[in-house]
Amino acid sequence: MTDLSRRKMLVGAAASAAALGVAATAKAATFGNPDNPAEGAINAKSPTSLDDPGPKNPGLASQFPDTGNPPPTDVNGMAEFWASFNNAPKRIQDGGWARQVTQEDFAISTEISGVNMRLAKNGIRELHWHQQAEWAVMTDGKCRITIIDELGRPQVADVKAGDLWYFPPGLPHSLQGIGPTGAEFVIAFDNGMASEFNTLLLTDWIAHTPPEILSANFGVPADAFKNIPLNNLWIFQGKDPGPLAADQAAVKSPLGPPTFPFVFSLSDLPPVRKTAGGMVQIADSRNFRASSTVAAALVTVKPGGMRELHWHPNADEWQYYISGEGRMTVFDTGPRAITNDFRAGDIGYVKKSLGHYVQNTGNTDLVFMEIFRSDHYAEVSLSDWLTHTPPQMVMEHLNITPDVLAKFPRNRPDIVPV
Ligand code: MN
Ligand code: MN
């Protein structure tokens, strides 16, 4: 079978199908990889090659049509780039819960660690800090954030679904669910090893400082601290914090507020691209000035649409799927190419500069976020590159005709169809 590459088989199949007319469409869709090994069901000629009698979980298998039956263009040998909050263990306390997917759980995810947190009405994520920057997107309800910068300039703000926050490394902060339903959000730390279960907590420090030191530090008798919690709170049920304006007045510093706000409204932004297939909104340090190490794009792909073939030259991409259904193929050297399926609550990861697309495979809008450890969003579009390269060179590479090349989108659509 060594002389029968997948391409020969596929092109041959397509050519004979073309002669037969209507069957051509299905066969043409399998144009594929010219390289060995001859992978894919299309190469499985023996009658029992495709049998799969072993133990299986039908519910789980049905969620992953593209791993159970990969497109013939896939070639294995790539690290897993699918993960999910859906099956991440929840740490539940009075006041809310959190679950996370870190590099320890998801080896490929070296640049970003993800946390999904829910805070009950008035539930508090206790005052804390950590070595990593914290970026977050609100997905439900309302949350009140507090933070102070290294110059002593505080900010208290309320955020709603579609808003972001960015807390620089080491700056102390808190979160509280407010309004009738509290808050849910997803945090991205700019380090794959960061853990929400391993942060520097106010209550831990106070409980592990000698009482006479607390007395000297705060200028009050040591027994003023006799009721401190001996175990940390992490998440706990708080009381209604009252109006935002009152909190803002209470924290006021003569130094004023931070130079750039630590919160930003992403979903209210005008899209940077809008096509028949969907739209892209981008928040990075060029508009969300405080967000110096995380850039984000909110992508909406309509049914039948696709986030076009592209890559990112500056950073790995950490994806968080918010709604809908999609599939992504990641292309690497080798060549290797793997396709996987994504639903709400899932996470995808694409290493820097590896090619990929994301196709809406459902009947509703596919909405997901692309998160990067970078101060700016950057991408290279395949169609943009090929339409701004001397045409003869492109045609000689792909054996295509001028009229085909002339139809390629020239304006970086981001989402197709244009
Ligand atoms: Mn934090
Ligand atoms: Mn991308």
Using alpha carbons, select from 190, 151, 372, 399 the residue that is nearest to residue 282: 372
pLDDT of 40 reads: 81
**pTM, entire model:** 0.92
pLDDT of 375 reads: 98
Q: Residue 37 — very low, low, confident or very high, per pLDDT cuts 50/70/90?
A: low
What's the CATH number where 171 sits? 2.60.120.10
Q: Between 42 and 237, name the one with better pLDDT.
A: 237
Pair (273, 259) in one structural domain: no
51 belongs to a structural domain? no
239 belongs to a structural domain? yes
Q: Residue 43 — very low, low, confident or very high, per pLDDT cuts 50/70/90?
A: confident
Mean pLDDT of 225-246: 97
Final residue of a structural domain among 224, 244, 264 = 264
Length of the chain: 418
The pLDDT tens digits for 59-82 are: 999 999 999 999 888 999 999 999
Ligand nearest to the CA of 311: 2
pLDDT surpasses 80 at 30: no
pLDDT surpasses 90 at 329: yes
pLDDT of 4 reads: 36
Query: Which token pair is 381?
Result: 């579009």
Q: How far is the CA of 366 from the centre of ligand 2 (A)?
A: 14
Pair (200, 298) in one structural domain: no
Lowest mean pLDDT among 7-11, 170-174, 309-313, 326-330: 7-11
Q: How far is the CA of 243 from the centre of ligand 2 (A)?
A: 40
**Distance from C-alpha of 277 to C-alpha of 305, rounded to nearest angstrom:** 5
Pair (230, 289) in one structural domain: no
327 belongs to a structural domain? yes
Ligand nearest to the CA of 168: 1
Lowest mean pLDDT among 7-16, 131-140, 404-413: 7-16
Q: How far is the CA of 204 from the centre of ligand 1 (A)?
A: 15
Cβ pair 313, 342 in contact under 8 A: no
Final residue of a structural domain among 264, 287, 303 = 264
389 belongs to a structural domain? yes
203 belongs to a structural domain? yes
Pair (403, 346) in one structural domain: yes
Pair (302, 210) in one structural domain: no
Ligand nearest to the CA of 175: 1
Pair (321, 396) in one structural domain: yes
Boundaries of domain holding 108:
89-264
Active site residue 80: no
74 belongs to a structural domain? no
Pair (319, 221) in one structural domain: no
Q: Residue 138 — very low, low, confident or very high, per pLDDT cuts 50/70/90?
A: very high
Final residue of a structural domain among 244, 264, 284 = 264
**Distance from C-alpha of 136 to C-alpha of 166, rounded to nearest angstrom:** 7
pLDDT of 18 reads: 38
Pair (273, 221) in one structural domain: no
Mean pLDDT of the chain, nearest integer: 92
Q: What's the Cα-to-Cα distance from 258 to each of 114, 144, 171, 295, rounded to whole Å?
A: 26, 17, 12, 20
Pair (253, 306) in one structural domain: no
Long-range own/partner contacts, residues 63-69 (CB < 8 A, 24 or more apart): 63/341, 63/343, 64/340, 64/341, 65/341, 66/327, 66/339, 66/340, 66/341, 67/339, 67/340, 67/341, 69/41
Number of domains in the chain: 2
Pair (332, 252) in one structural domain: no
69 belongs to a structural domain? no
173 belongs to a structural domain? yes
Helix ranges, 95-241 (H): 202-207, 211-218
Mean pLDDT of 276-293: 98
Pair (243, 371) in one structural domain: no
Pair (257, 144) in one structural domain: yes
Q: What is the DSSP string of 396-412?
A: HHHT--HHHHHHS--S-
Q: Residue 11 — very low, low, confident or very high, per pLDDT cuts 50/70/90?
A: very low
Catalytic residue among 39, 134, 325, 370: 370
